């Protein structure tokens, strides 16, 4: 089924639900939300019972994001209905069992294309794959189908901390699924005795990194992770009003649509209370979950495309993703591009909006903020706008052609 989550907390500056302690440096506060780019498609994979649906339900509680969700019909659906405030047109059915096995354009590709339509203004699309899905195959399909409409926004592989080594990774060569994962969530950590947790996580991390050194491995309880680590929220609503010719007042930003309040707030409060009660029952802190941290660097001029791309292909320690826009000298003026990076995957597109200068945001759970800021400032090496074409310009244009 295909749904849209449209959640905004308009009553306070503090996000509702599980994001109450998100740092003020959250990427949602970065002044880059006006730059449009293909919708990121986040693949949520994991063996049966690992906790994919718990992770999905937590992602849907992002207070200021419009998130499309595609789940396949294989198995029982268990998404909290109260988090779905409306649907994109009619639900799009994904049939045929495991979605990665669909070979025609009438299945997953059409569902993704429909949801990525600009009219829906989605911040991200999450595909919850079957426990039998092959992440590498699914990632390749999404990348091949994107064509400027959507892009691969990361592959999350959810691991059952208790059962993983008896089901998925039984020794020998590390599973191939590690190779494509950008983020590995070690879930159900509360079921591991406290004095064994660090060693258990280290064992999993070593196995993952022996196959994929660039994968991020973090632990979770009840699938709780800060959605800002994975995608951005929509701009906050403009609360100022304008006076019409008839003397009436109307929102200064008419494009923003109020969500279903206060019903949505009641659902959010209910889920927050439920989670806090469950965490209390296992003696875990109410806000015991991974937070996203970010660094934003802006410069007023054009930059060196070669240096930026080198930076995006090798992000600073602890960085999971980066986004931004760059203005690049072409020898005949400048050209603006939107750039994105998630793990080893780098994407670029021509900016559809008028932008001035260049800016990058780097986001990660274990981000070394000082190192990241220094590296980001170095990456935004300025060049004269009226000078010769920037080194790396053709490399950047090749990326654009590759994903368009």
Question: From first to last of its 404 residues, what are the pLDDT tens digits of the chain?
Answer: 544 444 433 333 322 222 223 333 333 334 565 567 889 999 999 988 888 888 888 888 776 778 888 876 444 455 555 555 544 444 444 444 455 544 444 478 888 888 888 888 888 999 888 777 788 888 998 998 998 899 999 999 999 999 998 989 988 899 999 999 999 999 988 888 889 989 999 999 999 999 999 999 998 887 888 888 898 875 444 334 343 344 443 444 434 333 444 444 545 555 566 666 655 665 555 444 567 889 999 999 999 999 999 999 999 999 999 999 999 999 999 999 999 999 888 999 998 877 889 999 999 988 899 999 999 999 999 999 999 999 999 999 999 998 77
> What is the spatial distance between Cα 70 and Cα 79, in angstroms, rounded to a whole number?
11
Are the C-beta atoms of residues 227 and 57 closer than 8 Å to each other?
no
Q: Which residues contact 105 (CB under 8 A, 6 or more apart)?
A: none
Residue 71 φ then ψ, to 5°: -125, 150
Torsion of CA 141, 147, 150, 151, to 10 degrees: 60
> What is the spatial distance between Cα 72 and Cα 92, in angstroms, rounded to a whole number?
10
Are the C-beta atoms of residues 35 and 351 closer than 8 Å to each other?
yes
- Whether the bond between 262 and the residue before it is cis, its omega within 30 degrees of 0, is yes
> What is the spatial distance between Cα 213 and Cα 198, in angstroms, rounded to a whole number?
19
> What is the spatial distance between Cα 37 and Cα 349, in angstroms, rounded to a whole number?
7
Output the pLDDT for position 213: 93
Output the pLDDT for position 91: 45
Q: Decide: residue 244, CB within 10 A, 0-12 exposed, 13-18 middle, 19+ buried.
A: exposed
Q: Is 28 helix (H, G, I), strand (E, B) or coil?
A: helix
In 140-246, the DSSP E strands lie at 150-160, 183-187, 216-219, 241-243
> What is the spatial distance between Cα 393 and Cα 302, in angstroms, rounded to a whole number?
12
Q: Which two tokens stand for residue 37?
A: 């780019």
Strand 358-364 versus strand 321-329 pairing type: antiparallel
CA distances in angstroms from 103 to 96, 109, 147, 206, listed in the order given? 10, 9, 17, 35
> What is the spatial distance between Cα 254 and Cα 258, in angstroms, rounded to a whole number?
10
Q: Name the maximum alpha-carbon separation found in the chain.
A: 74
Residue 70 φ then ψ, to 5°: -120, 125
Output the pLDDT for position 129: 82
Helices (H), 194-287: 197-211, 263-281
Q: Which residue shows structure tokens 């929509």?
A: 234
Q: Decide: residue 371, CB within 10 A, 0-12 exposed, 13-18 middle, 19+ buried.
A: middle
Torsion of CA 159, 161, 162, 168, to 10 degrees: 30
> What is the spatial distance between Cα 323 and Cα 338, in angstroms, rounded to a whole number?
8
376-402: b or e for each residue (b if 16 or more CB lie within 10 Å)?
beebbbebeeeeeebebbeebbebbee
> What is the spatial distance between Cα 257 and Cα 27, in angstroms, rounded to a whole number?
22
């Amino acid at each position: 089924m295909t749904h849209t989550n449209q959640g905004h907390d308009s009553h306070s500056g503090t996000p509702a639900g599980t994001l109450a302690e998100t740092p003020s440096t959250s990427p949602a506060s970065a002044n880059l939300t006006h730059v449009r780019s293909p919708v990121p498609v986040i693949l949520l994979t994991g063996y049966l019972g690992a906790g994919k649906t718990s992770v999905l339900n937590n992602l849907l509680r992002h207070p200021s994001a419009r998130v499309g969700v595609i789940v396949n019909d294989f198995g029982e659906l268990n998404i909290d209905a109260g988090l779905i405030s409306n649907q994109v047109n009619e639900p799009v059915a994904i049939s045929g069992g495991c979605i990665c096995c669909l070979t025609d354009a009438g299945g997953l590709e059409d569902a993704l294309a429909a949801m990525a339509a600009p009219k829906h203004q989605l911040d991200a699309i999450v595909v919850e794959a079957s426990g039998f899905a092959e992440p590498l195959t699914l990632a390749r399909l999404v990348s091949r189908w994107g064509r400027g409409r959507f892009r691969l926004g990361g592959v999350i592989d959810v691991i059952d901390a208790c059962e993983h080594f008896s089901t998925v990774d039984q020794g020998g060569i590390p599973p191939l699924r590690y190779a494509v994962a950008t983020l590995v969530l070690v879930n159900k950590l509360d079921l591991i005795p406290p004095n064994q947790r660090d060693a258990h996580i280290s064992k999993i991390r070593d196995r993952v990194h022996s196959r994929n050194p660039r994968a991020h491995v973090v632990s979770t309880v009840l699938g709780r992770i800060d959605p800002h680590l994975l995608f951005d929220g929509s701009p906050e609503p403009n609360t100022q009003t304008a006076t019409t010719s008839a003397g009436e007042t109307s929102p200064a930003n008419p494009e923003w649509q109020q969500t279903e309040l206060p019903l949505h707030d009641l659902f959010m409060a209910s889920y927050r209370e439920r989670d806090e009660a469950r965490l209390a029952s296992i003696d875990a802190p109410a806000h015991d979950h991974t937070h996203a941290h970010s660094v934003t660097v802006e410069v007023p001029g054009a930059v060196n495309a070669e240096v930026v791309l080198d930076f995006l292909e090798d992000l600073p320690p602890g960085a999971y993703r980066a986004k931004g826009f760059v203005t690049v000298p072409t020898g005949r003026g400048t050209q603006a591009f939107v750039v994105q990076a998630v793990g080893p995957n780098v994407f670029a597109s021509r900016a559809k909006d008028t932008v001035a200068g260049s800016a990058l945001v780097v986001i990660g759970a274990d981000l070394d903020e000082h190192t990241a800021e220094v590296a980001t400032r170095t990456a935004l090496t300025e060049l004269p706008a009226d000078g010769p074409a920037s080194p790396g310009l053709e490399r950047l244009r090749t990326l654009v052609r590759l994903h368009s």
